[in-house]
Chains A and B, each alone.
Chain A
Amino acid sequence: MRRPHAPHATTAKPSTSPPARRRRGAWARRAPLLPALLFMIVVTQLPFVGTLVISFMRWNALDPNDRGWAGFQNYKAEFTDPQLRHSLTTTVTLTATVVLVSLLLGLGLALLLDRKFIGRGAVRTMLITPFLVVPVASALLWKHALYNATYGLFNGTLTWLWSLFGSDSAPQPDWLSVAPLMSVEASLIWQWTPFMMLILLAGLQSRPTDIIEAARVDGAGSWHIFRYLTFPHLRRYLELAALLGTIYVVQNFDAVFTLTSGGLGTANLPYTVYTTFYQAHDYGQASAEGVIVVALSIIVATFALRTVSSLFKEEIR
């Protein structure tokens, strides 16, 4: 499946050619890469330099006359502000919960879907659906059609269940205020489980079947086959799914914005930056928050990139 790279691929042309030609050859190799590289640097890296500069400024759009250098004031305000520290822990809790739970559910579903049964294609399609609903639409669905305390489906179902037993005093919790963070997490788990399932299912289906067949013939039980053959093979796919899930869930904005508007302790870092910038118009402060988010991401990313490079080790030689 994966082709080992030809040895000539990474070395320059034979040393017999003059240096000028070799340099031209190197540039010919680089040329197709440059547009994409330049584009990324200009559109993603330069704005960040701007963020860095503004983070050291006193700049609130509502008070345009009071603009100047502020030194580390914005950062000091950030670290003494309990709200930012809280949004930091919220981000970690939210991401870890969503990624872990959907990974486990996704693993279970992938194992179920890996067997033959009637209507497997239909079940697979049903399971993928949550991932294909536009995130804002999904957040609105959960907020108004499911969680709503008076007419949401959850409380409606409770009323119906209780009425089956002749009771009209079914509990009617206001889900979003009783358990705000869990409500956000549940809607995100609904969206991300299919994603995890798809990657793990692809992993399961790429297992070498002959080895498993041989193990079964030798009398290995289902659990042992899973523990010693399937799971080691699946580990790479679990890591990949967790990593990609983390990249996307850390940056989640839509669900927090729509479901709770960051209230009741659900504001994560992206949402906090958004409010400081878009509602408080405190540009300096928002930039400092952005820089902190990036600093934290770099820590996570360094770790994550190491995982990725081990994942793609087979390809990258």
Chain B
Amino acid sequence: MAVTVPTASRFHGTSAARAAGKRTRRNSTLLGLLAWLCGIVFFLPFAWMVLTSLHSEQDAATNPPSLGAALTLDGYREFFGSGTGVSPWPPLENSLTASLTSTLLVLLLAIPAAYALSIKPVRKWTDVMFFFLSTKMLPAVAGLLPVYLIAKNIGMLDNIWLLVLLYTSMNLPIAVWMMRSFLADVPVAILEAAAIDGAGLPTVLVRIVAPVVAPGIAATALISFIFSWNELLFARVLTGVVAGTAPVFLTSFVTSQGLFLAKVCAAAVCISLPVLAAGFAAQDKLVQGLSLGAVK
């Protein structure tokens, strides 16, 4: 042991460092706890929504809240129409149709456009990019009335395909921006070299383009799906009993009489489920999508 006795100065140095290390460790534990606390605060309303959806209507509407009340699936049964006989499946199917079809259309239109704006850019391509973005900045509500009148005249009101068109236009600008930022990462020099070496188009697409672009397509599709699924204003004005989407269906719960809290919470959970699942599965894609591809 005598061998390890340090000199005075070194001893002081290490003990100071150790004290500092202890302090930073304590600080970082505290900051970790703070992060947990914030996480719980932000999560609490959602947790409350899930818990309420699993309570009976009587237990859901108590003051103070009854946390430990018996759990039941009655709220969910109500949502699926056990009491009223109104099935939520048609609006859910409408939402799915509108979201998936418009997402597909968005990709079909955005990918070629992004190609023309990045790999073989047209002249003044920045102007085109800003035109797309500017349509996103104009409030959608400003074009609502003419769309309504036209739809009414050609008998397209309460038709899910009208929403498909509108949702496509709503998400196309974001999609073009995102896809462009991904296509800009495709190594053009390698593309040209491969072409000179005689690689066919399928080879080039699979080996060089796809690995770079596939995450971008996934991110674009995710964002497009979520925004279409969430949309309320157009769906509310332009659809009725036939083509009403899930968010419109959800607002109809507000008018219910009597106790309805558990039922509303169950409905809110069910309708948010596709977005929650998609979002949790692809958190990073979400960031890319929302930042128009600027943050990778």
A interface residues with partner B (beta carbon < 8 Å): 1-3, 5-6, 9-10, 12, 26, 29-33, 35-37, 39-40, 43-51, 54, 108-109, 112-113, 115-120, 122-138, 140-142, 144-146, 148, 150-151, 153, 155-157, 159-160, 163, 172, 190, 193-195, 198-199, 201-203, 206, 237, 240-241, 244, 247, 250-251, 253-254, 257-258, 269-270, 273-274, 277-278, 283, 286-287, 290-291, 293-294, 297-298, 300-301, 304-305, 308-309, 311-312, 315-316
Interface hub of B35, B110, B120, B276 (most chain A Cβ within 10 A): B35
8 Å CB contact of B46 from A129, A150, A198: A129
Contact mask for chain B residues 126-142; partner A; CB cutoff 8 A; 1 contact, 0 none: 10111111111111111
Question: Which residues of chain A are near B159, meaning CB under 8 Å?
Answer: none
Question: Which residues of chain A are near B103, meaning CB under 8 Å?
Answer: none
Interface hub of A144, A148, A274 (most chain B Cβ within 10 A): A144
B117 near A: Cβ within 8 Å? yes
A254 touches B232 (CB 8 A): yes
Q: How far is the CA of A26 from the CA of B152 in the complex (A)?
A: 40
Question: Which residues of chain A are near B131, meaning CB under 8 Å?
Answer: 37, 40
B49 near A: Cβ within 8 Å? yes
Interface hub of A44, A126, A277 (most chain B Cβ within 10 A): A44
B interface residues with partner A (beta carbon < 8 Å): 28-29, 31-32, 34-36, 38-40, 42-43, 45-46, 48-49, 52, 60-65, 109-110, 112-113, 115-117, 120-123, 125-126, 128-150, 165-166, 168-169, 172-173, 176, 181, 184-185, 187-189, 226, 229-230, 232-233, 237, 246-247, 250-251, 253-254, 260-261, 264-265, 267-269, 271-272, 275-276, 279-280, 283, 286-287, 290-292, 294-296
A134 touches B275 (CB 8 A): yes
A291 touches B121 (CB 8 A): no
Q: How far is the CA of A42 from the CA of B201 in the complex (A)?
A: 33
A112 touches B38 (CB 8 A): yes
Question: Which residues of chain A are near B35, meaning CB under 8 Å?
Answer: 109, 112-113, 115, 117, 120, 123
B122 touches A286 (CB 8 A): no
8 Å CB contact of A129 from B136, B276, B290: B276
Chain A nearest CB from B85 CB (Å) reads: 22
Question: Which residues of chain B are near A190, meaning CB under 8 Å?
Answer: 42, 45
7 A–B contacts from the bound complex (CB under 8 Å): A54-B146, A133-B275, A140-B264, A199-B290, A257-B233, A274-B237, A293-B142
Q: How far is the CA of A305 from the CA of B134 in the complex (A)?
A: 8
B177 and chain A: residue at smallest CB distance: A312
Question: Which residues of chain A are near B134, meaning CB under 8 Å?
Answer: 301, 305
A145 touches B49 (CB 8 A): yes
Chain A nearest CB from B13 CB (Å) reads: 15
B279 touches A273 (CB 8 A): no
A134 touches B271 (CB 8 A): yes
**Count of CB-CB pairs between chains A and B under 8 Å:** 336
Q: How far is the CA of A120 from the CA of B73 in the complex (A)?
A: 32
Question: Which residues of chain A are near B280, meaning CB under 8 Å?
Answer: 125, 128, 132
B121 touches A199 (CB 8 A): no
B226 and chain A: residue at smallest CB distance: A132
A141-B45, A155-B63, A156-B63 given; A39·B169 CB < 8 A: yes
Interface hub of B120, B121, B291 (most chain A Cβ within 10 A): B291
B123 and chain A: residue at smallest CB distance: A10
Q: How far is the CA of A84 from the CA of B229 in the complex (A)?
A: 30
8 Å CB contact of A145 from B136, B181, B261, B276: B261
Interface hub of B113, B135, B141 (most chain A Cβ within 10 A): B141
With A39-B169, A135-B247, A244-B290 already in contact, 14 other A-B pairs whose C-beta atoms are closer than 8 Å: A32-B113, A44-B169, A129-B43, A130-B46, A134-B230, A140-B251, A141-B45, A145-B261, A150-B63, A151-B261, A160-B65, A172-B63, A291-B142, A301-B134
B64 touches A163 (CB 8 A): yes
8 Å CB contact of B62 from A156, A194, A253: A156
A122 touches B137 (CB 8 A): no
A40-B172, A202-B291 given; A304·B137 CB < 8 A: yes
Chain A nearest CB from B70 CB (Å) reads: 17
Q: How far is the CA of A202 from the CA of B291 in the complex (A)?
A: 10
Question: Which residues of chain B are near A9, meaning CB under 8 Å?
Answer: 120-121, 188
B272 touches A29 (CB 8 A): no
A43-B166, A44-B135 given; A119·B232 CB < 8 A: no
Q: How far is the CA of A256 from the CA of B250 in the complex (A)?
A: 15
